[in-house]
Amino acid sequence: MNALKGKVAIITGAGSGIGRASAIRFAAEGAKLVIGDKSDAVHETAKLIGEGVTALQIDAGVEADVAKLVAAALSTYGGLDIAFANAGIIGDMGGIFDIDPAAWAETLRVNLIGPALMVKHAGKAMVDQGRGGAIVLTASVAGLNSGAGPAAYSASKAGVINLAKTAAQQFTSAGVRVNAICPGLTETGMTKPTFDYAREKDVMHKVGQLNPLKRAGQPEELANVALFLASDQASYVNGQAIAVDGGLTSSHPVTRQLLGQTSH
C-alpha cells in the first residue's frame, strides 16, 4: 500500500476498463488523480474513488484537451509525477485492401497521436519540475504481432510501442521514464461485443484459449502492471513494451504438448 503516496497522476480512458481499474488502484495506493474520458462515465469513476480526484470529459486525441489535463494536475495538486495515456479505440475494421484514409487517420489520432501529445505535455511538465516522472502508454499485443486486431488498430499500437522507446531516449538525463503495456485479450468496453457473444453462445470457455493460461485478462490485472511501471519500484525500467497477455506472445503458433504427455 501507499506505493504512490504523495504522487499526482493523470489517467485517460478512465471511464471504464483498464483506465477505471487503474484509477481506483492508483488512488488506493495514495495518488491524487486527474482522470479523463470522452464519456461522462469518467464522473462515475470519480464517485467510486471519492476524494483526491478531478474528472474531466476530454478527447485524448485533441491537444488542447491533453494540455487541459496537465494544467489541472498542476493547478489543483501542485505538480505531476505520473501520466498514463490509456485511452484508445478499435477504429477502422477494414483490411489492407479496404483502407479508408479518413478512418485510419481517426484511429491514429486517438491511439497514437493522443499518447504522443501526453508525452509532449506531461513530459514537459515533469522536466520543468526537475524531479523526474513516469509515463505509461497503453499499446497492445496487436502492436507486437499480427493476428490480434484489425490493420489500423495494430499499426497504431505498433507506433505506441516505438513512441515509448523513442521518448525514453529523448528524456535522457531528465529522469522521466516511458514504458508501454501491451494487453492481450482483456474484458473492457472495447472488447464487450466479444464477451457478450461468448456468453450468449455459452462458449466463454473458448475465450482466451490461444494463450497458455487459457483465459482472458481482467482490467485489474493490467492495472497492477500499470501501477508497477508508474511506481518507484520500476525505477530502472525504461523504454520497454511489457506484454500482459497470459503468455500469448511467448511463442510462435505450435501444437501444444501438455504436461505429462509425450509425442511419438
How confident is the model over 233-242, as pLDDT tens digits?
A: 999 999 999 9
236 is catalytic: no
What span, in angstroms and rounded, lies between the C-alpha atoms of 68 and 162? Answer: 25
Residues 6+ apart with CB under 8 A from 28: 1
Residues 6+ apart with CB under 8 A from 24: 45, 48, 49, 223
How confident is residue 2, by pLDDT bands cut at 50, 70 and 90?
Answer: very high
Look over the chain and give the mean of its residue pLDDT values, rounded to a whole number: 92
Residues 6+ apart with CB under 8 A from 81: 4, 7, 8, 9, 126, 131, 133, 134
How confident is residue 209, by pLDDT bands cut at 50, 70 and 90?
Answer: confident
Cβ–Cβ < 8 Å for 208, 165: no
What span, in angstroms and rounded, lies between the C-alpha atoms of 19 and 121? Answer: 19
Radius of gyration in angstroms for the set of CA atoms belonging to the chain, rounded to a whole number: 18
Evaluate if residue 264 carries a pLDDT over 60. no
Closest alpha carbon to 81 in 120, 126, 41: 126
Extended beta strands in the chain, E state: 8-12, 32-37, 53-57, 82-85, 133-138, 176-183, 241-244
Cβ–Cβ < 8 Å for 94, 102: no
Average pLDDT on 158-165 reads 98
How confident is residue 1, by pLDDT bands cut at 50, 70 and 90?
Answer: confident
CATH superfamily, domain 8-188+216-244, is NAD(P)-binding Rossmann-like Domain (3.40.50.720)
The residue from 77, 153, 197, 236 that is catalytic is: 153
How confident is the model over 16-65, as pLDDT tens digits?
A: 999 999 999 999 999 999 999 999 999 999 999 999 999 999 999 999 99
pLDDT of residue 259: 63
pLDDT of residue 225: 98
Check residue 231 and report its DSSP letter: S
How confident is the model over 175-201, as pLDDT tens digits?
A: 999 999 999 988 776 766 766 656 677
Cβ–Cβ < 8 Å for 36, 42: yes
How confident is the model over 120-148, as pLDDT tens digits?
A: 999 999 999 999 999 999 999 999 998 88
In this structure, what C-alpha cell is assigned to residue 15?
A: 471511464
- Give the domain ranges of the chain: 8-188+216-244
pLDDT of residue 241: 98
Cβ–Cβ < 8 Å for 70, 10: yes
How confident is residue 217, by pLDDT bands cut at 50, 70 and 90?
Answer: very high
pLDDT of residue 186: 85
pLDDT of residue 235: 98
Q: For the chain, what percent of residues have pLDDT higher than 70?
A: 89
Residues 6+ apart with CB under 8 A from 29: 1, 2, 3, 4, 5, 227, 231
Cβ–Cβ < 8 Å for 41, 65: no
